[in-house]
Structure formats: structure tokens, C-alpha cells
Structure 1
Amino acid sequence: MKPDRRSGPADAELADVVAYHNGDMRAAIGTLLEDIRHLRRQLALAEGAMSRGMARGWRPSYDRD
């Protein structure tokens, strides 16, 4: 199975992330994983702070479907 090779804005973002880390892919991935952990914590805090009525029963999902 061949990898999907699409060109677009995501490619530019990927290039920016890798360039920021001077070509170190492990550092780039590590930073992105830290960002994911941070955003999950922020989502959990927001979920705890909002009332059920405010979101009309909506609950955040922590994983992609």
C-alpha cells in the first residue's frame, strides 16, 4: 500500500514544524505530542467548568472518530 502523498497547507505546516526543530524529526514529534497532552488537559478543564445546559448536552471527545 502506497502512502497518500497530497500537497497542501498541511505540508507547509509540517515543513515549518521540522524547520523549527532544525530538521530533527524526533524533536518535532515530541513537541507535537506535548501539545496534544496540553490540549487534552485544557479540554478536560473546560469540560469540568461548563454546565450541561450551556452545551445542550454536548460532551467533548478526546479521540478522533
Structure 2
Amino acid sequence: MRLFETEPAPLVPENEVMLALAWHDGDPIATIATLIGDCAFLRSELDAAEALLSKGYGRGWVPKRARD
């Protein structure tokens, strides 16, 4: 049994941008500042993962600081 007659539309990047702006009441500077803060936090989490996880634990996976 399906809960919805049609599948909900997936979020696309444009929608995500609009949602982020709406969260900050349309203020682009506040939106960018939050995203930069989030990036800094996630980079620190990657640093911790790199320091704490052995290569064997992640089956050879190691965190990357930049996209390919």
C-alpha cells in the first residue's frame, strides 16, 4: 500500500537555495555566513574522523578535504 498517490517531488538545488534563504528571512549575507560556518564545522569533523579512524576500520576509506 502506497502512502501517497504520487511521489513527492525531490528537492533540487534551486529549491534548497530558496529554502536556505527563507530560513534566514531572505537575507543572503546571513545565509552565506551560515553555510560558511557549516563548512568549517564539517571540515573539523573530517579532521577528527581522519585522526580517529584507522584505514582498516573504514575499509580503506579516508576523508577528503576537497572535492575531486
Q: What's the TM-score once normalised by structure 2's chain length?
A: 0.75
- Shift of the alpha carbon at 1:61? 1.0
Number of positions where the alignment pairs a residue of Structure 1 with one of Structure 2: 58
Provide runs of 4+ in structure 1 moved above 6 Å: none
Give the partner amino acid of 1:48: A
Contact in 1 for aligned 2:21/2:27 (Cα 8 Å): yes
Provide the aligned C-alpha RMSD in A.
1.3
Deviation digits for residues 28-61 of structure 1 (CA, Å, limit 9, x no counterpart)? 0000000000000011111111112213433211
1:9 corresponds, among 5, 8, 12, to 12
The yes-or-no answer on 1:27 pairing with 2:30 is yes
- Alpha-carbon distance in structure 2 between the residues aligned to 1:59 and 1:46: 8
Max radius of gyration: which structure? 2
Q: Which runs of 5+ in 1 are unaligned?
A: 1-7
Q: What's the TM-score once normalised by structure 1's chain length?
A: 0.78
Q: Which runs of 5+ in 2 are unaligned?
A: 1-10
Give the partner amino acid of 1:54: Y
Contact in 1 for aligned 2:20/2:31 (Cα 8 Å): yes
